[in-house]
Structure formats: structure tokens, C-alpha cells
Amino acid sequence: MEASATPATNDGGDEDQHPWPYLRGMFSYVGVKDSSYRMKCLLCLPKATEILAFKNSPSNLRKHIERKHVHHLTKYGADINKEKKGS
């Protein structure tokens, strides 16, 4: 799911704004569109692929990994589990 919208202002780097920092190795924060975050898939590079993910759930990011990068699904699951154990 690709999206085009005005980029968000970035005044301190994405470390301060990334909604799911444990997924920083796979997705970078681009901005906000309506009630969703715009994320760029780092695994798709050099192709620029943006995915919209609702602010309360990164499930669209997981679906993207399942469809396009199935070999990274185990790492995605491990990153999610690490975050859940740390909370």
C-alpha cells in the first residue's frame, strides 16, 4: 500500500518521532496522514515503498513483511516479542 502525502516536519531526527522504535531496523518514520503513520520500508530499498499504519497498531507493517519479505518474518516476530517482554 503506497501513500503520497506531505512530509511531516522533522525537527530532531526520527529517533524522537518513531512510533515503534523496536522496528527501526525495518521501517523508518516518514510522517502522519490523518489517523495513520507513514512509514518507509527499509528492506525494499532502493525502491521507495511507503506503508500506512494506524496509530494504534503496526499490523499493516507486519502484513507488508508477510507479503514482501517473508524471510524477515522471524526477526519481525522476535522484535515484537522483545518489546512485549520489555513493557
pLDDT in tens, 32-74: 999 999 999 999 999 999 999 999 999 999 999 999 999 999 9
Cα–Cα distances in angstroms (integers) from residue 30 to residues 4, 17, 53, 67, 73, in the given order: 11, 9, 11, 21, 22
pLDDT per position as a tens digit, 25-38: 999 999 999 999 99
pLDDT the model gives residue 16: 57
pLDDT the model gives residue 17: 87
pLDDT the model gives residue 84: 81
To the nearest 10 degrees (0 to 180), the angle between helices 59-68 and 73-86 is: 160
The pTM score is 0.76
Q: For residue 25, what is its C-alpha cell?
A: 531496523
CB atoms within 10 A of CB 30: 21
